């Protein structure tokens, strides 16, 4: 790769050993990708923590959080002292909620180590967003801004909805980007890779977050890592979906496939028209989503579910917005979670503070539910003891949780899930 004078100086050790290790990693990474150069980034979303048992043991044996960052963020066998980050960096979700450790089965000594990790991370200037939805808590890149983000559902939102530019990065490349403000210039940083490849025509109107999740899951499986362009039937503009529908749509598409970018004609910033979305490309395939596809996708997402008795309802994958918490409270008001079921709702810590202020947390707790932060059941591998059947309003989580935790999972609307929590039974169906 071609390096400029500043990049060469960082590689040669001008800014210390950690920065030199970071540049070395980025050069090796870029060369493996076939990138010709690096690009400046001032917006990074990654992970620094050591919240898994393996990493905690590693930290205790090898020299603390500097050792963890050296090994797992910089690919360095030598422990180097980690300096403050060079650019704006946000931490993604973690392994558990430290304020709900007992409920999640986490020992007190683990929480104490977690707090030390938080202090290390914040001390290096990394924002403790602790969420898979950094755009909900203040990290909102502008159109055309080069970013270095992890987390598939965040990446697809950044590229598609916000018009930022990022590939799906890993812990190593984001850690290196934090210290250098550089990332390989390839993939979705380039104009030509952001153009549409597949045309998706909707034969039905989508009226809910649930339906946008179904479309995303169906679409991702068919287009895989390509760039779909979605239009309404007859070439009409789509009815603009809100944040939560876009969030669940992208998360579903990046779970069943590898979608990192999509265009909604007349909605997303790089698709004012079909022609501009494709940017001179011809569609390699035309796909139609209608009632038959909707029903088949719902059947697939519910294929692990057999038993109607629901032990556990988990909402908040990706993390719930304040609007979704408000909606859940409307559905919960005056009801109680069934004695044989549990309700956990996950949101960023900053949004939980807002929910506390608005009285939503009390509504959830009075009903017998719990509003939690920093993680989810897939990340934490934590569910109420004895859970065999879960209910979810996220197509992404319906895809992952049965495989990760070995449970049955029902997928439906938020109303279906709240009803399951309060009755202890799944009564949802495809309307």
Domain final position from 233, 265, 298: 298
**Predicted confidence band of residue 109 (pLDDT cuts 50, 70, 90):** confident
In this prediction, residue 391 carries a pLDDT of 98
Q: How far apart are CA 246 and CA 326, in angstroms?
A: 18
Which token pair is 172?
Answer: 């190593």
Please check whether residue 428 lies inside any domain of the structure: no
Residues 310, 337 within the same domain: yes
Residues 174, 107 within the same domain: yes
Cβ 173 vs Cβ 258: under 8 Å:
no
Please check whether residue 431 lies inside any domain of the structure: no
Please check whether residue 83 lies inside any domain of the structure: yes
Residues 210, 338 within the same domain: no
Residues 406, 339 within the same domain: yes
Residues 222, 179 within the same domain: no
Domain final position from 191, 221, 255: 191
Cβ 363 vs Cβ 332: under 8 Å:
yes
Residues 274, 310 within the same domain: no
Give residue-wise pLDDT tens across range 280-332. Answer: 999 999 999 999 999 999 999 999 999 999 999 999 999 999 999 999 999 99
Q: Work out how many domains the chain is built from and give that number.
A: 3
In this prediction, residue 355 carries a pLDDT of 98
Give residue-wise pLDDT tens across range 51-102. Answer: 777 777 888 788 789 999 999 999 999 999 999 999 999 999 988 999 999 9
Residue 48 pLDDT more than 90?
Answer: yes
Give residue-wise pLDDT tens across range 173-184. Answer: 999 999 999 999
**Predicted confidence band of residue 233 (pLDDT cuts 50, 70, 90):** confident
Residues 187, 245 within the same domain: no
- What rounded mean pLDDT belongs to the chain? 95
Average pLDDT over residues 3-30: 98
In this prediction, residue 62 carries a pLDDT of 83
Burial code of 250-276, b = ≥16 C-beta within 10 A, e = fewer? bbbbbbbbebbbbbbbbbbebbeebee
**Cα dihedral: 245, 302, 382, 372 (round 10):** 30
Q: How far apart are CA 154 and CA 135, in angstroms?
A: 8
Residues 288, 417 within the same domain: no
Within 282-410, residue ranges assigned H as helices are 291-301, 322-332, 349-358, 360-366, 377-380, 395-405
Cβ 340 vs Cβ 424: under 8 Å:
yes
Q: How far apart are CA 381 and CA 406, in angstroms?
A: 11
> What CATH number corresponds to the domain at position 336?
3.30.499.10
Please check whether residue 373 lies inside any domain of the structure: yes
Contacts of 43 (CB under 8 A, 6+ apart): 87, 88, 139, 141, 145, 146, 147, 148, 149, 164
Domain range enclosing 104: 5-191
The Cα-based distances of 403 to 73, 228, 315, 342, 399 in angstroms read 27, 27, 18, 20, 8
Angle, CA 64 vertex, CA 63 and CA 65 arms, to 5°: 130
**Predicted confidence band of residue 254 (pLDDT cuts 50, 70, 90):** very high
Please check whether residue 54 lies inside any domain of the structure: yes
pTM here is 0.96
Residue 33 pLDDT more than 80?
Answer: yes
Phi/psi at 146 (5° precision): -80, 125
DSSP character at residue 339: T
Please check whether residue 430 lies inside any domain of the structure: no
Give residue-wise pLDDT tens across range 328-349. Answer: 999 999 999 999 999 999 999 9
DSSP H or E segment with residue 180: helix 171-180
Give residue-wise pLDDT tens across range 370-398. Answer: 999 999 999 999 999 999 999 999 999 99
Residues 368, 386 within the same domain: yes
Task: Tell me the Ramachandran region of residue 316: left when phi exceeds 0, alpha when psi lies from -120 to 50, beta otherwise.
Answer: left
Residues 275, 412 within the same domain: no
Residue 238 pLDDT more than 90?
Answer: no
């Amino acid at each position: 790769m071609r390096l400029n004078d500043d990049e060469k100086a960082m590689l040669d050790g001008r800014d210390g050993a950690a920065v030199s290790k970071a540049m070395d990693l980025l050069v090796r990474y870029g060369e493996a990708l076939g990138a010709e150069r690096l690009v400046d980034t001032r917006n990074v979303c990654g992970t620094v923590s050591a919240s898994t048992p393996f990493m905690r043991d590693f930290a205790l044996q090898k020299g603390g959080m500097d050792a963890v960052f050296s090994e797992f963020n910089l690919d360095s066998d030598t422990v180097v002292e980690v300096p403050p980050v060079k650019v704006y960096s946000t931490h993604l979700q973690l392994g558990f909620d430290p304020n709900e450790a007992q409920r999640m089965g986490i020992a007190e000594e683990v929480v104490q180590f977690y707090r030390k990790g938080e202090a290390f991370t914040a001390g290096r200037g990394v924002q403790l967003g602790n969420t898979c939805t950094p755009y909900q808590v203040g990290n909102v890149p502008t159109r055309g801004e080069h970013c270095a983000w992890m987390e598939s559902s965040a990446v697809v939102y950044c590229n598609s909805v916000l018009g930022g530019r990022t590939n799906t990065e890993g812990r190593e490349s984001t850690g290196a980007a934090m210290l250098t403000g550089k990332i390989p210039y390839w993939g979705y940083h380039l104009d030509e890779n952001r153009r549409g490849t597949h045309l998706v025509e909707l034969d039905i109107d989508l009226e809910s977050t649930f339906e946008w999740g179904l479309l995303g899951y169906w679409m991702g499986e068919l287009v895989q890592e390509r760039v779909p362009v979605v239009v309404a039937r007859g070439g009409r503009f789509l009815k603009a979906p809100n944040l939560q529908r876009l969030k669940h749509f992208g998360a579903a598409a990046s779970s069943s496939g590898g979608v990192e970018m999509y265009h909604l004609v007349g909605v997303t910033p790089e698709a004012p028209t079909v022609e501009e979305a494709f940017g001179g490309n011809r569609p390699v395939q035309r796909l139609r989503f209608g009632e038959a596809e909707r029903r088949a996708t719902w059947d697939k997402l519910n294929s692990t579910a057999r038993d109607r008795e629901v032990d556990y309802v988990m909402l908040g994958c990706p993390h719930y917005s304040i609007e979704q918490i408000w909606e859940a409270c409307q559905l919960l008001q005056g009801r109680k979670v069934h004695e044989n079921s549990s309700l956990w709702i996950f949101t960023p810590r900053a949004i939980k503070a807002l929910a506390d202020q608005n009285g939503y947390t009390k509504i959830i707790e009075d009903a017998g539910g719990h509003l939690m932060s920093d993680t989810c059941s897939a990340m934490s591998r934590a569910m109420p003891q004895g859970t065999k059947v879960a209910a979810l309003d996220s197509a992404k989580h319906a895809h992952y949780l049965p495989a990760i935790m070995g449970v049955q999972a029902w997928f439906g609307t938020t109303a279906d899930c709240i009803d399951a929590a309060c009755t202890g039974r799944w009564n949802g169906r495809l309307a």
